[in-house]
């Protein structure tokens, strides 16, 4: 598991490099955006887009992890289809080839013959992950790779990535939108139980390099299995006032009834709004919010698996909101926690892996209980 964590940190940084390369030239970037349709589309959005960066990152992670851990290869799942359509209307299956030159040739067919852009992308894809500093040796966990599966969200908050608005992150403050909301998420779960045991989050657009002006990223990681809990983020310590008054982050499209109920619990100044499911859960991990509430089934296993593992590592978790509201045991029942191994019955496409009951991401059980009690008769 220590070797796996180190590899995931390195491939996540490779992924961040690809995301930054794809954003460097605005005219080029416009060629890389494609609208999702049919079963691939998230029904929450009128338009749902993927980028070539999404597809390339997903296939690169699948390739690199599968090469080092072949026993996991068949259990690496991601958000995106690896089909992309070029300007001639030709459908191209995007894969990582055995050499940088072959990958560049394949990408050129997607990029309408732009060999320079294809070569730039291929170089980032084929960077040896062992040359990237992971920043940690990782803890030892008694799990065999053959017991594990992986969920990848190559770029969470793709709409923010496409829009590309640059915001300056203020320390200890949640920022509602911008490039920093776009995250690379890699979550590891136990195949037999669906328990999330390891998560890696890379924030490719965390800050600008004062010297060169280019974007620099930041990574976060967590491991939680049995009595083993390690996380790059320390459990946040709030002020006494903050402990008395919950702060909750929501989607701006959340139901009015939920907003009103939480306003009565928290006060209007303690409700915040942000883009991206992964970023909202990251805000909870960092202590910028006490909880994230979502009443709709508009997130998926790839959105929540990685940050769920980090929350578990600091004593929190992510529960199914609908199950928690119906349960006589209350939210403290561990059966309410999201799991990652079984598809939804009677569903197709992306909905197979939707978190259909909504969710609550939390850091503290007592705060979770307050939220569930507040929402019990409202949904």
Active-site residue flag, 132: no
Q: What DSSP state is assigned to residue 194?
A: -
Q: Could you confirm whether 263 is annotated as catalytic?
A: no
Active-site choice (13, 54, 290, 320): 54
Q: Do the bridges between strand 148-156 and strand 76-78 make them parallel or antiparallel, or are there none, so unpaired?
A: parallel
Set 158, 281, 290, 320: catalytic member: 158
Buried b (16+ CB within 10 A) or exposed e, 340-357: beeeeeeeeebbebbbbb
Catalytic residue, chosen from 254, 296, 303, 337, is 303
- 254 Cβ contact partners less than 8 Å away, ≥ 6 residues apart: 293, 294, 295, 296
Question: Is 269 labelled a binding residue?
Answer: no
Is 162 considered catalytic here? no
State yes or no: 79 annotated in a binding site: yes
Separation in Å, CA 199 to CA 104, 115, 136, 186, 312? 30, 35, 14, 6, 10
- 125 is known to lie in a ligand binding site: no
Among candidate residues 13, 64, 156, 254, the one labeled active-site is: 156
Q: How many CB atoms lie within 10 A of CB 67?
A: 12
Q: Is 64 annotated as belonging to a binding site?
A: no
Q: Tell me if 155 is assigned to a ligand binding site.
A: yes
Q: Exactly one of 64, 80, 153, 320 is catalytic; name it.
A: 153
- Taking the C-alpha atoms of residue 74 and residue 89, their distance in angstroms, rounded to an integer, is 30
54 flagged as catalytic: yes
Which residue among the candidates 125, 132, 152, 155 is catalytic per the annotation?
155
Cα(23)–Cα(37) distance, rounded to whole angstroms? 23
156 assigned to active site: yes
Q: Spot the catalytic one: 13, 59, 79, 254.
A: 79
Quick one: tokens of 368?
A: 């979770």
- For the chain, give percent helix, strand, coil, nearest 5: 40, 20, 40
Binding-site residue numbers are 79, 153, 155-156, 303
Catalytic residues: 54, 79, 153, 155-156, 158, 303
Binding-site residue numbers for Mg(2+) are 79, 153, 155-156, 303
């Amino acid at each position: 598991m220590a070797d796996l964590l180190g590899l995931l940190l390195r491939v996540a940084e490779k992924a961040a490099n690809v995301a930054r390369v794809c954003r460097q030239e605005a005219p080029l970037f416009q060629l890389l955006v494609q609208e999702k349709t049919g079963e691939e589309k998230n029904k929450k959005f009128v338009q749902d887009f993927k980028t070539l960066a999404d597809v390339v990152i997903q296939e690169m992670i699948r390739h690199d992890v599968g090469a080092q851990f072949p026993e996991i290869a068949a259990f690496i799942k991601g958000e995106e289809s690896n089909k992309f359509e070029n300007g001639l209307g030709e459908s191209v299956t995007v894969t990582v080839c055995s050499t940088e030159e072959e990958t560049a040739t394949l990408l050129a067919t997607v990029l309408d013959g732009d060999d320079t852009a294809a070569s730039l992308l291929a170089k980032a894809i084929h960077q040896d992950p062992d040359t990237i500093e992971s920043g940690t040796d990782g803890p030892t966990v008694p799990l065999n790779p053959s017991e594990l599966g992986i969920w990848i969200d190559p770029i969470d908050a793709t709409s923010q990535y496409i829009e590309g608005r640059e915001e300056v992150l203020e320390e200890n403050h949640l920022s509602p939108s911008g490039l920093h909301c776009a995250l690379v998420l890699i979550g590891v779960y136990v195949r037999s139980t669906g328990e999330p045991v390891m998560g890696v989050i890379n924030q490719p657009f965390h800050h600008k390099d004062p010297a060169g002006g280019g974007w620099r990223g930041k990574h976060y990681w967590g491991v939680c299995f049995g009595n083993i809990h390690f996380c790059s983020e320390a459990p946040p310590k709030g002020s006494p006032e903050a402990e008395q008054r919950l702060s909750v982050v929501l989607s701006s499209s959340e139901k009015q009834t939920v907003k009103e109920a939480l306003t009565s619990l928290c006060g209007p100044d303690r409700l915040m709004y942000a883009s991206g499911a992964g970023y909202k859960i990251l805000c909870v991990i960092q202590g910028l919010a006490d909880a994230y509430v979502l009443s709709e089934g508009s997130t998926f296993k790839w959105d929540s698996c990685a940050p769920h593992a980090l929350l578990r590592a600091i004593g929190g978790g992510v529960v199914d909101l609908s199950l928690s509201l119906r349960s006589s045991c209350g939210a403290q029942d561990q059966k309410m926690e999201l799991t990652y191994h079984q598809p939804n019955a009677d569903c197709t496409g992306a909905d197979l892996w939707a978190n259909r009951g909504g969710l609550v991401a939390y850091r503290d059980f007592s705060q979770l209980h307050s939220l569930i009690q507040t929402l019990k008769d409202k949904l």
